[in-house]
Chains A and B, each alone.
Chain A
Amino acid sequence: MAQYLTLEFIAMLTGFILIIIGLWGMITQKNLIKLVIGFSLFDTGLNIVIVSMAYVKNSTAPIIDKAVDVSQAASKIADPVPQALVLTSIVIGLGVTALMLAYVLRMYREKKSLDINSYTDLRW
């Protein structure tokens, strides 16, 4: 159990919980905005998961400066890759969320309803 009581695990757990909450929102909330919020939560949780993955025990930010010398960089810094990935992930999430919101706006405009059950014209 002790292995789970680390900083990175708790961060990761938080991320997973956010993912679950977001998912729950996505599959139960009938309101379109809330659905988008669910997705946002999911996305945020995912980003937290990625970030917490980058952490190496007792390490610092991957920037070479006075605190971290080039020669010892490998032993002192956190993994820069997930940090790079999360940047991309955040931006993508932003793009998708913007797109979703634009859709919601447009759908509301069409039917004056934010209930997802009103948009079942296409089926079967």
Chain B
Amino acid sequence: MIKKGLLLILLVGFVAVISGLLINFTGSNELNPLASYYAEKGPTEVGAANLVTAVVITYRGFDTLGEVTILFIAAAIVGFFLKTMNADTNRPLRLRKTSEILETASTLLVPTIFMLGAYIFVNGHLTPGGGFQGGAVIATGVMMIILARPASQFNHKLISVLESISGIGFVVMGVLGLVLASGFLNNAFLPLGKLGSLLSAGAIPIIYVFIGIKVGSELTSILDSLKENQNEI
């Protein structure tokens, strides 16, 4: 109890520290100069209608590269970690029985979900969404498969190759930007096209496709790794 009390005092202290942030937050009435620059120059420089995408893929594309990398190594670590764990247990998986409704629904829904995911990342530069969102949607489809058909096996090799191809693709895009355009991850080595059309914004759609595939496959790989351990707990 005393310990909890102390922790409470600690937390109150911490609240007091960060309350300095909260009470000085007054909202904003206009964009700051940086955001204004993006709003004004973004459409012409990058050619993406979705300014968030412009920021994510081009202006702060390097962050995104890092982000993808994080997901990548997280998947790699989880895969390694849980693989070594499985290696020394040869017990067969004891699988729950799933309901027929779920199975049937999944048959119906999964292709749709995959398609939706693809749509989201292909249109990332135009509409809300993008590679991450699309990839995540695809992963929900995978999740559904896992829930509906626990016995199903994913092709690890395929996932791995997909991950690699998309990852290398992203990097190659970046290098192409450096070589052909003004800098690493610059999208302007492909024609910017007309603002608002599907084939616009230079390399952004391609990058987003890579990201979508990559995120989808990485999340799939994580889910798969976690799934294969479900009988352990």
A119 at the interface (CB under 8 A from B): no
CA distance A114 to B7 in the complex (A): 21
Measured CB to CB, the nearest residue on chain A to B64 is A88
A92, CB-defined interface residue at 8 Å = yes
Chain A binding surface SS class? helix
Q: How far is the CA of A120 from the CA of B162 in the complex (A)?
A: 40
Residues of A within 8 A of B34 (CB): 81
Residue of A nearest to B66 (CB): A88
Residues of B within 8 A of A96 (CB): 74
On whether the beta carbons of A80 and B22 are closer than 8 Å, the reply is no
Chain A residue contacts of B39, Cβ below 8 A: 62, 73-74, 77, 80
Q: How far is the CB of A122 from chain B (nearest CB, A)?
A: 19
* Residue B29 CB within 8 A of the other chain: yes
Interface residues of B, count at CB 8 A: 63
Task: A79 to B89: give the CA distance in the assembly, Å.
Answer: 51
Is there contact, CB below 8 Å, between A57 and B29?
yes
Whether the Cβ atoms of B52 and A95 lie closer than 8 Å is: no
Set A64, A75, A87, A109: member contacting B30, Cβ < 8 A: A75
- Hey, what's the 0/1 contact readout for A94-119 against B, CB within 8 Å counting as 1? 11101101110110110000000000
Interface of B is mostly: helix
- On chain A, the residues within 8 Å of B225 by CB distance are 102
Contact, CB under 8 Å: B51 / A62: yes
A12 interface residue, CB < 8 Å from B?
Answer: yes
Q: How far is the CA of A103 from the CA of B50 in the complex (A)?
A: 38
Interface residues of A, count at CB 8 A: 50
Asked if B195 is at the interface (CB within 8 A of a chain A CB), the reply is yes
Check if B232 sits within 8 Å of A108, measured CB to CB: yes
Select one of B14, B42, B81 contacting A102, CB under 8 A. Answer: B81
Among residues 36 to 71 in chain B, which have CB atoms less than 8 Å away from a CB atom of chain A? 36, 38-40, 42-44, 49-52, 54-56, 59-60, 63-64, 66-67, 70-71
**What CA separation (Å) do A108 and B56 show in the bound complex?**
38
Nearest CB of chain A from residue B44's CB, rounded to whole Å? 8
Q: Are B38 and A95 in contact (CB under 8 A)?
A: no
